[in-house]
Homo-oligomer: A and B are copies of this chain.
């Protein structure tokens, strides 16, 4: 089968790879209906995050179940399913507390690589959620967004304790940040400040529910958020970048007693203890437990309450995966969908 493989910095190729096989009795094999490129794929693509190459790429997926292992009980061939980047048993104590991305048996789907025609998904019963039926094609982008970026933005909003009457700031205007705006709107935020200096992203943020745009970054951006909040800072701040600058911008934009929900994968971040201590903010985040939110997100998408698929502003054939990476690397695209 065909699948994307990273060979080195900025060198992604579509290769002929071995087709997936059932390895564990709890596995499922899915045929991808759609897959996509993640902002986090750009870290190894740019050579900033070291990976052993050649590396199969991709961890976002929706598709039709083709085959299941003999221990799989609830997932069946023919179902349309969505899973996320960590496979999880969904039965351990950590899963049951809502942290499936820290499941005691978790497995990284990224190591398998879902930018491909087919993929093996471990722990199928715990990981995959079936839609009510095979979806109409126009719903596929939104369902694919639920696999990671929507679930991650949603977790950022929940971790930031977004709720009715609150002012929310969002640091980062990639797909996750934009869907953090959508989540904040859905969770009842009164005011949503999107921090973005790219006009197309600002437009999408406004469409998703942002009430204010702040173009400035760093201390100037913080001062702008404070000026919009009686000098106090936002109640809730969603951090969706993962750098030192973005984390400090998030912490400093939050009022005492407020909450930072951070979902940008941390790269070379060191939080100064003394400043954090005196900031009085709550800090919570990490790899999103997308599985916690999938049933609700599928329901919202199925009933066309939310349309997170709008973050895909470029759709290509899987054959064009290299161009998909280039477009995101050069910020010509927010997020690239790939049709296998």
Q: Say if the beta carbon of A232 comes within 8 Å of chain B.
A: yes
**How far, in Å, is A172 (CB) from chain B's closest CB?**
14
Stretch in contact with the other chain, from A63-71, A173-181, A276-284: A276-284
Q: Is the CB of A271 within 8 A of B276?
A: yes
User: Can you name the residue of chain B whose Cβ is closest to the Cβ of A279?
Assistant: B286
User: Once bound together, how far apart are the Cα atoms of A268 and B101, in whole Å?
Assistant: 31
A273 with B280: in contact, given A94-B255, A99-B256, A257-B102 (CB under 8 Å)? no
Q: Is the CB of B282 within 8 A of A274?
A: no
User: Once bound together, how far apart are the Cα atoms of A101 and B242, in whole Å?
Assistant: 29
User: Once bound together, how far apart are the Cα atoms of A283 and B251, in whole Å?
Assistant: 12
What's the number of copies of this chain in the assembled complex? 2
What residues on B are CB-neighbors of A94 within 8 Å?
A: 232, 255-257
User: Can you name the residue of chain B whose Cβ is closest to the Cβ of A273?
Assistant: B269
Contact with B along A284-308 (1 / 0, CB 8 A): 1111000000000000000000000
Q: Say if the beta carbon of A330 comes within 8 Å of chain B.
A: no
What residues on B are CB-neighbors of A102 within 8 Å?
A: 256-257, 280
Q: Say if the beta carbon of A20 comes within 8 Å of chain B.
A: no
Q: Is the CB of B274 within 8 A of A267?
A: yes
Q: Say if the beta carbon of A93 comes within 8 Å of chain B.
A: yes
Q: Is the contact region of chain A dominated by helix, strand, or loop, or is it mixed?
A: mixed
Q: Is the CB of A93 within 8 A of B280?
A: no
User: Once bound together, how far apart are the Cα atoms of A276 and B268, in whole Å?
Assistant: 12
User: Once bound together, how far apart are the Cα atoms of A242 and B244, in whole Å?
Assistant: 22
Contact with B along A77-103 (1 / 0, CB 8 A): 000000000000000011001110110
Q: Is the CB of A257 within 8 A of B287?
A: no
Q: Which of B244, B269, B283 contacts A282 (CB 8 A)?
A: B283
A283 with B284: in contact, given A230-B93, A271-B270 (CB under 8 Å)? yes
Q: Is the CB of B257 within 8 A of A97?
A: yes
Q: Say if the beta carbon of A75 comes within 8 Å of chain B.
A: no
Q: Say if the beta carbon of A247 comes within 8 Å of chain B.
A: yes
User: Once bound together, how far apart are the Cα atoms of A257 and B155, in whole Å?
Assistant: 12
Q: Is the CB of B273 within 8 A of A277?
A: no
What residues on B are CB-neighbors of A283 within 8 Å?
A: 276, 282-284
Q: Say if the beta carbon of A137 comes within 8 Å of chain B.
A: no
**How far, in Å, is A219 (CB) from chain B's closest CB?**
19
What residues on B are CB-neighbors of A282 within 8 Å?
A: 282-284
**How far, in Å, is A48 (CB) from chain B's closest CB?**
13
Identify 26 residue pairs between A and B in the complex whose beta-carbon atoms are under 8 Å apart, listed by A's number. Answer: A93-B232, A94-B255, A94-B256, A94-B257, A97-B256, A97-B257, A98-B257, A99-B257, A99-B280, A242-B273, A266-B273, A266-B274, A267-B273, A269-B277, A270-B271, A270-B273, A271-B273, A271-B276, A277-B285, A277-B286, A278-B286, A278-B287, A279-B286, A280-B286, A282-B284, A283-B284
In the A-B complex, the 9 residue pairs with the closest CB atoms: A269-B273, A102-B256, A266-B273, A99-B257, A271-B271, A266-B277, A280-B286, A282-B284, A266-B274
